[in-house]
Amino acid sequence: MEQKQYRPNTRDSTSTKRNSDRTITTRALNCTTRKENKEMRTERSFITRCALGAAAVALAVCLGTPQQADANTAANTSIINTATVNYRDTGGVAQNPVTAQATVTVILVASAPTLNAPADLSTTSGTAVIYNYEITATANGPDSYNLTRTIAESAGITPGTSTAVISTPSVTLGASTLAAPVTIASAGITPITVPSDGTANVTVNGIVGGDTVFIGGQAYTVASIVDNANGTSTINVNGNGAASALLQPGTLIAERQTFTVTVTPGTIIATGDQTVTVPVTATSVADGTKSASDTTITTVQVANLQVLKEVSTDGTTFSASVSRAPGQTIYYRITVTNNGAANATSVVITDPLTVYTIYTAGSAKRAAGAATTYAAAPTSLTDAADPDGYDYALTTAGTVTYNVGILTPGAGNAVQLFFQATVR
């Protein structure tokens, strides 16, 4: 009986080998993937722990004060942030943290100060007026401000004769910001925490005891300073009679000072009121583009006198002219009115008589205000040298002289002088 020779099934063998190879490859890939995933998870875990540790530490400022608004941190403040990294070794044992610091020093951001606007004043020629100014800091730290002025005179003043003198050429204003929330009490002393300025002395960013400072729109007097070189310092302020609202970190503490401008008008060469215009400017020394200005206009009031001479035949009805025969009496009325805005001083009326008239002795009278008659004039004047200020032919021969003195503005203050004469 013929035996069949056994032949291996090469197709099955090849298939089995391929399946075996696929299995080995898959297992290798899975092993590699698991290893990579484990390494990635380990790396991410380490990175995450480091990042979280650094972020947590970065929030803690070694000043020990709350964070302030970016734009409101005081100049000279040192911001010292410490980053910390925590980790374990391969055995899982916690190791000592490692740290690193970075320091940021806040610089001065110059700003235009605020100037109050004193009310315009009036005066007379040659009489000075004084303008009182208040200047308040708005920068985040101390700065000096140069004070300058110009002068503009109206046409009725001799050019260059007016002056404007500033009491000081410059002022230095301190400023800081709150480092912690505070409510300032209405009375007593309230301590205010501020960033230190890096130097331990009697001033914090230019603010010293006795200064006037503005905080939250209110004025306070500084009672004292506790200044530290690092960390925070304290400004103690006196209550102003009203408790403040809760003031937040970053609130400006701004010093205020005062100065004066004395304006003296020059020589008046016109009859109407004149003006002297004086713009005053405060310019930052740290940044010359930052300045504040105010302009005062001083009105120079001028006396403006009007004189009217009239004549009458009966002392009742007066006009510019009359007709009279020799030997007849005539009545003169001289009215002087100040139509200006300032008093007229050293007012003197003179009226020389002509050779065609003879003065009637003892006939002079005086009235004030609205025009009146000779008979109604209430005040008689003597011809002699006496306190009434009137005389005839004593000061000047053949002349009526009446020393009025001061004549105030207005028709109600007008002066009327009466006297009689006879036609030759």
Q: What is the CATH number of the domain that holds 231?
A: 2.60.40.2310
Range name among 49-58, 341-350, 356-365 with the lowest pLDDT average:
49-58
Residue 280 has pLDDT above 60, yes or no: yes
Q: Quick: pLDDT tens for 131-147.
A: 999 999 999 999 999 99
Instruction: For residue 48, tell me if it sits in a domain.
Output: yes
Mean pLDDT for the stretch of residues 328-339: 98
Q: Distance between the two ends of the chain, CA-based, in angstroms? A: 200
Q: Environment class of residue 114 by beta-carbon count within 10 Å: exposed (0-12), middle (13-18) or buried (19+)? A: middle
Q: Looking at the structure, do residues 216 and 358 belong to the same domain, yes or no?
A: no
Looking at the structure of the chain, the number of domains it has is: 3
For position 271, what pLDDT does the model report? 87
For 40, 51, 56, 190, 203, the CA distances from 94, given in Å and listed in that order, are 21, 17, 18, 47, 46
Instruction: For residue 4, tell me if it sits in a domain.
Output: no
Mean pLDDT for the stretch of residues 268-286: 96
Mean pLDDT for the stretch of residues 380-390: 96
CA-CA-CA-CA dihedral for 198, 203, 204, 210, to nearest 10 = 170
Q: Quick: pLDDT tens for 141-185.
A: 999 999 999 999 999 999 999 999 999 999 999 999 999 999 999
Number of Cβ within 10 Å of residue 242's Cβ equals 10
Of 262, 281, 301, the position where a domain reaches its end is 301
Q: Which two tokens stand for residue 184?
A: 């300032």
Q: What is the 3-state secondary structure (H, E, C) of the chain?
A: CCCCCCCCCHHHHHHHHHHHHHHHHHHHHHHHHHHHHHHHHHHHHHHHHHHHHHHHHHCCECCCCCCCCHHHCCCCCEEEEEEEECCECCCCCECCCEEEEEEEECCCCCCCCEECCCCCCEEECCCCEEEEEEEECCCCCCEEEEEEECCEECCCECCCCCEEEECCCEEEECEEECCCCECCCCCCEEEEEEECCCCCCCCECCECCCCEEEECCEEEEEEEEECCCCCEEEEEEECCCCCCCCECCCCEEEEEEEEEEEEECCCECCCCCEEEEEEEEEEECCCCCCEEEEEEEEEEECCCEEEEEEEECCCCCCECCCCCCCCCEEEEEEEEEECCCCCEEEEEEEEECCCCEEECCCCCEEEECCCCCCCCCCEECCCCCCCCCEEECCCCCCEEEEEEEEECCCHHHCEEEEEEEEEC
Q: Looking at the structure, do residues 166 and 217 belong to the same domain, yes or no?
A: yes
Q: Which two tokens stand for residue 286?
A: 């740290």
Instruction: For residue 336, tell me if it sits in a domain.
Output: yes
Mean pLDDT for the stretch of residues 262-291: 96
> What is the domain range of residue 136?
114-301
Residue 21 has pLDDT above 50, yes or no: no
Place of tokens 């000081």: 168
Instruction: For residue 3, tell me if it sits in a domain.
Output: no
pTM of the model: 0.72
Q: Looking at the structure, do residues 313 and 349 belong to the same domain, yes or no?
A: yes
For position 151, what pLDDT does the model report? 98
Q: Looking at the structure, do residues 145 and 280 belong to the same domain, yes or no?
A: yes
How much of the chain, in percent, has pLDDT values that exceed 70? Answer: 83
Residue 141 exposure: Cα atoms within 13 Å on the Cβ side: 20
How much of the chain, in percent, has pLDDT values that exceed 90? Answer: 81
The overall average pLDDT reported for the chain is 87
Place of tokens 């009121």: 273
Residue 302 has pLDDT above 60, yes or no: yes
Q: Looking at the structure, do residues 271 and 333 belong to the same domain, yes or no?
A: no
Q: Looking at the structure, do residues 172 and 288 belong to the same domain, yes or no?
A: yes
Mean pLDDT for the stretch of residues 121-132: 95
Band of pLDDT at residue 371, cut at 50, 70 and 90: confident
Distance, C-alpha 14 to centroid of its chain: 99
Q: Looking at the structure, do residues 86 and 234 belong to the same domain, yes or no?
A: no
For position 398, what pLDDT does the model report? 97
CATH classification of the domain holding 401: 2.60.40
Q: Looking at the structure, do residues 281 and 336 belong to the same domain, yes or no?
A: no
Q: Looking at the structure, do residues 276 and 331 belong to the same domain, yes or no?
A: no
Instruction: For residue 289, tell me if it sits in a domain.
Output: yes
Mean pLDDT for the stretch of residues 416-423: 98
For position 258, what pLDDT does the model report? 98
CA separation for the pair 270, 304 (Å, rounded): 9
